[in-house]
A and B are shown apart, each in its own frame.
Chain A
Amino acid sequence: MKLMNKNMDYIKKEKNIQKVIRTEILFAPLLVIFPFIVGIIFIYEWYNRGFLLGDPSFDIELILGLIIIFGNILFDVPFIKSLIELSRKKEKI
């Protein structure tokens, strides 16, 4: 069991904590904002071509748009919180 847990550990970068934070901050806007844009495009497609024209074949776009947006929010919130926490740790170090 202990061996398995060790395998699940992340590869450490003991000397370059700043580099780690930079990597995260660099990708954070893309990881957080892009899913929202994609979700909104799906919902826009449903609204523009499905809802306004009364075509139910676009309902799947609405469902997918909502799944993408809420699915991402679920993980974005703790991710951003952890990022803020990490920045504080870095300041303390």
Chain B
Amino acid sequence: MNKVKKKLENTKKKIKNTKNKINSIDFDAHWYRRVFHAFGACFLFYYLLPDLDWINLLKFWIPPIIVIFAISLEILRLKGKISSNHFFGLRMYEKDRVGSYVFFAVGILILLMLPWQPISIPCILCACLGDPIIGEIRGRYGKKNSIILGFLICMLFFVVIWYNVDIRLTILVAIIGGLGAIIGETKKLWWLDDDFMIQILPAVLLIIIWFIAPHLGLNLPPDQIINAGRMPW
């Protein structure tokens, strides 16, 4: 009888140890999410595509189709027709809410459709690289430091894109854009994800500046700053 009890206890211990090991996957999902974010910067390739009729047609239709596909997947997941287990790296708060990746995709889609590249490029960089860097700083050095450093990093993205305009405009855009990004990132709303806000809030603020700046005598950069690529043939 004692032998059976001991065996049962040993088995329970083994199950507990195995569960603990499996729970340590958290850290891995964490880096997976970070890499997925950084990967988003590849969408800037969109601007390098050659300016040809058939490519422009694809450029117009393919991004919305991808986003509609992602939204459809989310609807099926939320209705329970697809298990959340198939979506690797989802957080608990996303279980009964639209996943962050959909907000991320919708934000990028809106920015890609904007006619002003100097506004959309730094905002996309804030979402793709700024957001995971801020998250890492927050985890290691606390919220205050993440806000200060995150603000500086997002500012840097605006400075490097707006470097060849009037210095006053560069500074204004960097401060407003950086503030917009950091407010979008830190203000957490259950129904509106920070992955959306970090890119759309600075974009809205910069659109306002875009229309005001000429009245203040400040020259704007051209609408398109990336030169469309050429066909290799």
- Give the docked Cα–Cα distance between A85 and B26 (Å): 12
Contact B41 A67, beta carbon cutoff 8 Å: yes
User: B92: which of A6, A31, A42 is its contact (CB, 8 Å)?
Assistant: A6
Known: A71-B128, A79-B31. A45 touches B41 (CB 8 A): no
Shortest CB-to-CB span from A71 to chain B, Å, is 4
Shortest CB-to-CB span from A2 to chain B, Å, is 12
Encoded as 1 (CB less than 8 Å from any B CB) or 0, chain A from 10 to 33 comes to: 111110110010011000001110
Contact A75 B92, beta carbon cutoff 8 Å: no
Contact B35 A41, beta carbon cutoff 8 Å: no
Encoded as 1 (CB less than 8 Å from any A CB) or 0, chain B from 39 to 75 comes to: 1011011001000000000000000000000000000
List residues of chain A with CB within 8 A of the CB of B2: none
Main secondary structure of the interface of B (DSSP, over half): helix
The total of chain A residues at the interface (CB under 8 A) is: 46
User: B45: which of A6, A9, A41 is its contact (CB, 8 Å)?
Assistant: A41
Contact A9 B160, beta carbon cutoff 8 Å: no
List residues of chain B with CB within 8 A of the CB of A49: 227
Encoded as 1 (CB less than 8 Å from any B CB) or 0, chain A from 31 to 75 comes to: 110110010011001000100000001101101100110011011
List residues of chain A with CB within 8 A of the CB of B91: 7-11
User: A34: which of B19, B25, B39, B157 is its contact (CB, 8 Å)?
Assistant: B39
Bin the interface of chain B by size: 35 or more
- Interface residue ranges, A against B (CB under 8 Å): 6-14, 16-17, 20, 23-24, 30-32, 34-35, 38, 41-42, 45, 49, 57-58, 60-61, 63-64, 67-68, 71-72, 74-76, 78-79, 82-83, 85-86, 89, 92-93
Q: List 7 additional contacts besides A11-B92, A35-B41, A75-B132; criterion CB under 8 Å.
A: A11-B95, A24-B32, A31-B36, A71-B128, A76-B38, A85-B28, A93-B22
- Interface residue ranges, B against A (CB under 8 Å): 18-19, 21-32, 34-39, 41-42, 44-45, 48, 84-85, 87-95, 121, 125, 128-129, 132-133, 157, 160-161, 225-227, 229
